[in-house]
Structure 1
Amino acid sequence: MQRKAYVSGVAALLAALLAGCTGSSDDGGTADDSNPGDSGTATAAAEPGRYATLIEPCGAVGQETLDLLLPGIGQVTDEDQREKAYEGTPTITYDTDRKAGCRWKSESSEATNRLFVDFARVVSYDTSVSDDSEAEQLFATRQEAADLPEPTVSESDGDAGTSSADPSDSPTSSASPSVSASPSPSSSASSASPTDGATPAELQPRLLDDLGDEAFLDDALSSSGSTAQQRTVTVAFRTSNVIVTIEYEEQPTTVGVVPDSAEMQDRAQKLAAQLADALAE
Structure 2
Amino acid sequence: MAYVPGTALLAALVVGCSSSTGTGSSAPDSKPGEATVAAAAPGKYRTLPDPCRAVAPSTLKDLLPGAAELPEDQQKKAYKGTASVTYDTDRKAGCRWKSEAPDASHTLFIDFERVVSYDPLVSDDDRAREVYAKKEAAAGLDSPSATPSSTKEAEKQTSPSSEPEEDSASHALSGPGSEDESTDEPAGESTDEKGNGNSDTGGSTDGSADESLLPRTLDDLGDGAFLDVLPIRTGSTTQNGTVSVVFRTSNVIVTIEYTEQPTVSTAVPDSKEMQDKAQSLARKLADKFSE
TM-score, reference length from structure 1: 0.69
For residues 223-242 of structure 1, the aligned pairs below 5 Å read: 227-242=237-252
Is the CA contact 1:73–1:85 (under 8 Å) kept in the aligned structure 2? yes
Distance 1:37 1:89 in 2: 58
For residues 57-136 of structure 1, the aligned pairs below 5 Å read: 57-77=51-71, 79-136=72-129
Is the CA contact 1:221–1:230 (under 8 Å) kept in the aligned structure 2? no
Q: Give the superposition deviation at 1:113.
A: 0.7
- The answer to whether residue 270 in structure 2 is matched with residue 270 in structure 1 is no
Q: For the pair shown, which has the larger CA radius of gyration, 1 or 2?
A: 1
Distance 2:57 2:245 in 1: 20
SS of 2:128's equivalent in the other structure is: helix
Alpha-carbon displacement from aligned partner over 1:56-77 (angstroms, at most 9, x marks no partner) = 1000001110111111011112
**Alignment-derived partner of residue 7 in structure 1:** none
Distance 1:221 1:229 in 2: 10
Q: Give the superposition deviation at 1:112.
A: 1.2
Q: Give the superposition deviation at 1:83.
A: 0.9
**Alignment-derived partner of residue 153 in structure 1:** none
Distance 2:273 2:142 in 1: 21
Is the CA contact 1:233–1:249 (under 8 Å) kept in the aligned structure 2? yes
Which one of the candidate residues 215, 227, 232 is aligned to 1:205? Answer: 215
Farther off after superposition, 39-48 or 123-132 = 39-48
TM-score, reference length from structure 2: 0.67
Q: Give the superposition deviation at 1:259.
A: 0.3
User: Whose helix fraction is larger, Structure 1's or Structure 2's?
Assistant: 2
**Alignment-derived partner of residue 259 in structure 1:** 269
Q: Give the superposition deviation at 1:35.
A: 5.5
Distance 1:97 1:224, change over 3 A: farther
Distance 2:83 2:75 in 1: 16
Distance 1:267 1:241 in 2: 25
Alpha-carbon displacement from aligned partner over 1:72-101 (angstroms, at most 9, x marks no partner) = 011112x32221111100101111111111
- The answer to whether residue 63 in structure 2 is matched with residue 53 in structure 1 is no
> Runs of 5+ in structure 2 lacking a partner?
1-19, 21-26, 144-166, 178-208
* Letter matched to residue 47 of structure 1: A
For residues 158-237 of structure 1, the aligned pairs below 5 Å read: 173-175=171-173, 177-178=175-176, 200-222=210-232, 227-237=237-247
Distance 1:149 1:138 in 2: 14
Q: Give the superposition deviation at 1:37.
A: 9.8
Distance 1:116 1:233, change over 3 A: same
Is the CA contact 2:243–2:274 (under 8 Å) kept in the aligned structure 1? yes
SS of 2:231's equivalent in the other structure is: strand
Q: Give the superposition deviation at 1:39.
A: 8.8
* Letter matched to residue 96 of structure 2: R
SS of 2:230's equivalent in the other structure is: strand
* Letter matched to residue 173 of structure 2: A
* Letter matched to residue 143 of structure 1: E
> Runs of 5+ in structure 1 lacking a partner?
1-25, 27-32, 151-170, 180-198
Q: Give the superposition deviation at 1:173.
A: 3.6
Structure ranking higher on relative contact order (CA contacts 8 Å, 6+ apart)? 1
SS of 1:72's equivalent in the other structure is: helix
Is the CA contact 2:174–2:228 (under 8 Å) kept in the aligned structure 1? no
Alignment RMSD (CA, Å)? 2.7
* Letter matched to residue 99 of structure 2: S
Equivalent pairs counted in the alignment come to 212
Distance 1:262 1:222 in 2: 13
